[in-house]
């Protein structure tokens, strides 16, 4: 299968966490300056703001709001903590609706005090609890499988197969999957599971960055596309083969890049995007 090269920025989306030092206004102004067309907003950038007005401002810069990040963190050995997670996800849904974001990315959570099986059961139960509220507000929920190194506290959903099975078991057109190459590139079943996800209409999002080799930090040492060892074009080709036609969302956690000039970093993001 030949992969079509990226020729323009029409499908480039950047997560606000990627340019972490910038305020929401700075991100919007600079993304527009270089021709970025989409933005995924992390919730901490909305603190103390008029969320409706913030959404209008982002769109005034020619940016399509792709998603709100993040909801989830459903599992806990404590019923009180699980109830608090449900309330926080209700709040996230309200924020997404006010912002004009059609989707929330779910980092589903895990609790090392219980089995992964139990955590997965609680994730499914949590999604099902908030789903009617999400449907009422016109917001979709995207389960993001995370690399197994995060299975202790960040997510008990660690493969595309697990995410597919959960989305299919819930069986709603408002529940799908967000695929991130950083978390999934190692999986020998990835192409098959991306195609499965596409057949079900469940492939909601596609996130890109690179895995540095060697990496110095499993959380905050992600690379620009082409800096590391992930074959991003091939995986993007599989996503497109599965019918995905949405944004390619750049999500880079990097102490190294955050410490530098963010305008220079943004220029490098655009340059490296054509390699993805």
Domain harbouring 30, CATH code: 3.20.20.150
Q: Is 171 inside any structural domain? A: yes
Q: Is 240 inside any structural domain? A: yes
CA angle 62, 66, 70 (to 5 degrees): 135
* 143 DSSP assignment: E
Q: Is 5 inside any structural domain? A: no
Q: Which domain holds residue 99?
A: 12-274
CA angle 42, 259, 254 (to 5 degrees): 55
CB atoms inside a 10 Å sphere around CB 66: 23
Please provide the DSSP assignment of 16-79 as one string: TTTTTTS-HHHHHHHHHHHT--EEEEEGGGGTTS-HHHHHHHHHHTT-EEEEEEEEE----S-H
Q: Is 7 inside any structural domain? A: no
Summarize pLDDT for 178-235 with one digit per residue, the tens: 999 999 999 999 999 999 999 999 999 999 999 999 999 999 999 999 999 999 999 9
Q: Is 1 inside any structural domain? A: no
Q: Let me know: does 47 contact 39? Beta carbons within 8 Å.
A: no
Q: How confident is the model at residue 1 (pLDDT cuts 50, 70, 90)?
A: low
Q: Is 21 inside any structural domain? A: yes
pLDDT value at 264 more than 80 = yes
Number of domains in the chain: 1
Q: 146 in helix, strand or coil? A: coil
Q: Is 4 inside any structural domain? A: no
Please provide the DSSP assignment of 79-122 as one string: HHHHHHHHHHHHHHHHHHHHHT-SEEEEE-B--TTS-HHHHHHH
Q: Is the pTM of this model over 0.85?
A: yes
Summarize pLDDT for 79-92 with one digit per residue, the tens: 999 999 999 999 99
Q: Is 2 inside any structural domain? A: no
- The pLDDT assigned to 2 comes to 79
Among 179, 105, 168, which residue's Cα sits nearest to residue 140?
Answer: 105
% of the chain with per-residue pLDDT over 70: 100
Q: Retrieve residue 122's tokens.
A: 């609680």
Torsion 191-199-100-136 (CA) sign: negative
């Amino acid at each position: 299968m030949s992969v079509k090269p990226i020729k323009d920025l029409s499908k480039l989306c950047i997560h606000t966490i990627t340019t972490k030092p910038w305020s929401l206004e700075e991100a919007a102004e600079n993304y527009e300056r270089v021709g970025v067309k989409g933005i995924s907003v992390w919730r901490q950038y909305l603190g103390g703001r008029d969320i409706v007005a913030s959404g209008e401002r982002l769109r005034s810069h020619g940016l399509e709001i792709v998603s709100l990040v993040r909801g989830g963190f459903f599992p806990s050995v404590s019923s009180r903590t699980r109830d608090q997670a449900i309330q926080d996800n209700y709040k996230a849904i309200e924020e997404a609706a006010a912002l004009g974001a059609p989707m929330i990315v779910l980092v589903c959570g895990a609790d090392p005090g219980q089995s992964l099986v139990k955590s997965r059961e609680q994730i499914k139960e949590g999604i099902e609890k908030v789903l009617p509220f999400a449907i009422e507000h016109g917001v979709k929920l995207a389960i993001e499988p995370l690399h197994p190194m995060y299975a202790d506290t960040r997510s008990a959903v660690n493969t595309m197969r697990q995410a597919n099975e959960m989305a299919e078991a819930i069986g709603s057109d408002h529940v799908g999957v967000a695929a991130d190459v950083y978390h999934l590139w190692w999986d020998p079943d990835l192409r098959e599971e991306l195609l499965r996800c596409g057949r079900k209409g469940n492939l909601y999002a596609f996130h890109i960055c690179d895995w540095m080799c060697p990496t110095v930090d499993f959380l905050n040492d992600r690379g620009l596309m082409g800096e590391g060892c992930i074959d991003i074009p091939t995986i993007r080709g599989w996503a497109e083969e599965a019918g995905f036609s949405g944004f390619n969302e750049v999500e880079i956690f990097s102490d190294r890049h955050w410490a530098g000039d963010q305008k220079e970093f943004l220029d490098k993001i655009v340059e490296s995007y054509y390699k993805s």
